[in-house]
Structure 1
């Protein structure tokens, strides 16, 4: 068993960036958990399903409490604070990278959360099906001694994501998950994440998406309720807040890191957006001497 667990130090498949955790293969030792539970930026897609019990995750500085049949998902670059495991919790956790997604036969719009709701509540029958697929993935990625063919792993991952994509949009049946506008909004979100610190202009983003700036405005407004410019600024400010809270960085250094040429302009924009100065988000120092 020790040799089998050891392969989780790297990828679980020679060709796929995918790994799974469950009650059968729990996370780390108590000492190792202290480091693991520190806030970090996700480098892959993350999905956790609670089969029974309750646990609270923090994603982008917002708490999400999951109970039976609740599933939380997140995309690369989101800021994630994992909780310590609670008693009597039954769960599955799955991580997979962009390269793995690219090998799937279809796209899954829910992965970039176009409706801004990272929690999916599964009904009874859907929960049963999803748990079964998670169980199969856990078996072929962790329990089986012989490595399973890549095609089989991808087939079950595709099946799982199909279930979750359907459940995500189920309560929003008026939205066509394959329509062109939603596809462009998904592309827009990915461009924002990929080129955030480069601060491309809205015209440059529209050119990348091969649409007009007017069309981009209409699409982003439809799915986010805000303009492309405000969406980009809000994303930058959210990134700034995370860095201020969780890293030892000066406000001036942060401004340059986020692509601002003028730290003073960054400070004014930050205060206008949040109502607070950037220094208010810096970690408080303990001056008690204790």
Structure 2
């Protein structure tokens, strides 16, 4: 059984795409237990609940999912999955940046610009999404003959198109969002990729070919806060994760996050979170050891 699972994973890893469902759960007890460990995601993650109920923890926040609910997360988010319940019917999908780059279009929902990681599908959309998940599950796991990569990518593209539409449903029309939304997505990506470098807001605005006033207006529209506060909040969230799930010292953490003065970091942490950094203690090693 373990050899079969390793063979399946090696085939999918070539494309950077993995899927799990009731038809093909994790086979070995060791792998099942490992999957329950807190970890930082290295891929995009999507889980659809077809029936049943379950609660996931993403970035220290609980999300309870039931029939027709879908949770998605992006790389680098802290993810704590729950043990599967007996009555749960589900699909899970993971894919990496390289796989995403092979698709013919972009999907703004994946960076969660509206800060809503749960999508509630209506009945019609749920039926379509379940069918596409089922097809991907079939061609990746159940079919004996190998399927062309182009076909797999076509169904992945179709799935993400459905989810992108559902994410923005009943929101402002995409046509009027595109310019500002695109810049907000770029802003979020700059924050993620340069977090420990701590660039100035002026430098970020210049990189995005925006004035600081325009950047403030766009970030305020989608995040409800200023670019500076958004960056600090993201930095402090990263600090809290590291304090909770590793044995790093406060001084080491300050330097790792780009602060030259550990005392200043401690004061900023206290001001931003209302708690002292020393109040946080490691709860579980992300390595699962």
- TM-score by structure 1 length? 0.93
For the residue of structure 2 that corresponds to 1:57, the secondary structure is strand
How far residue 13 of structure 1 moved from its aligned partner, in angstroms, is: 5.4
Equivalent in the alignment of 2:22: 23
Q: 1:106-255, aligned counterparts within 5 Å?
A: 106-174=105-173, 176=175, 179-255=178-254
Contact 1:137 1:156 (8 Å CA) reproduced:
yes
Greater shift, 64-73 or 99-108, is seen at: 99-108
Deviation, 1:114, is: 0.5
The equivalent of 2:97 in structure 1 is: 98
| 2:5/2:27 contact within 8 Å kept | no
Tell me, yes or no, if the aligned pair for 1:169 and 1:177 is still in contact at 8 Å. no
Deviation at 1:10, TM superposition (A): 3.6
Give secondary structure in 1 for the equivalent of 2:199.
Answer: coil
Q: Secondary structure at the match of 2:254?
A: helix
Q: Per-residue deviation at 1:124?
A: 0.6
Residue aligning to 1:86: 85
- Aligned twin of 2:5: 5
Q: Give structure 1 regions of 4+ aligned residues with deviation exceeding 3 angstroms.
A: 1-4, 8-11, 173-178
User: C-alpha separation between the residues in 2 aligned to 1:249 and 1:9?
Assistant: 33
SS in 1 for 2:168: helix
Alpha-carbon distance between aligned partners in 2 of 1:44 and 1:80, rounded to the nearest angstrom = 11
Number of matched pairs: 284
- 2:91 is paired with a residue whose SS is strand
Tell me the residue number matched to 1:288: none
Alpha-carbon contact 1:109-1:177 (below 8 Å) kept: no
Contact 2:16/2:95 (CA < 8 Å) preserved in 1?
yes
The structure-2 alpha-carbon separation of the partners of 1:10 and 1:202, relative to structure 1 and needing over 3 Å to count, comes to: farther
Distance 1:166 1:284 in 2: 38
Give the 3-state SS of the residue equivalent to 1:170 in structure 2. coil
Contact 1:110 1:168 in 2 (8 A): yes
Q: Deviations over 1:164-211 (max 9, x none)?
A: 001001121445475110000011111111111111111221222122
Question: Structure 1: how far apart are the matches of 2:92 and 2:200?
Answer: 37
For residue 276 of structure 1, report the CA deviation from its aligned partner. 0.6
Q: How does 1:42-57 map to 2 (within 5 A)?
A: 42-57=41-56
TM-score (norm 2): 0.93
Partners of 1:127 and 1:78 in 2: CA distance: 26
Partner of 2:287: none
The 2-side partners of 1:173 and 1:207 are apart by 27
| Unaligned ranges ≥5, structure 1 | 286-290
* Equivalent-residue separation in structure 1 for 2:176 and 2:246 (angstroms): 38
Kept after mapping to 1: 8 A contact 2:136/2:155: yes
Find the residue that maps to 2:20 and give its secondary structure. strand
Name structure 2 gaps, 5 residues minimum: 285-289
SS in 2 for 1:179: helix
Which deviations, in whole Å up to 9, do the C-alpha atoms of 1:38-69 show, x marking residues without a partner? 11111110000001111110000000011111
Structure 1 partner of 2:76 = 77
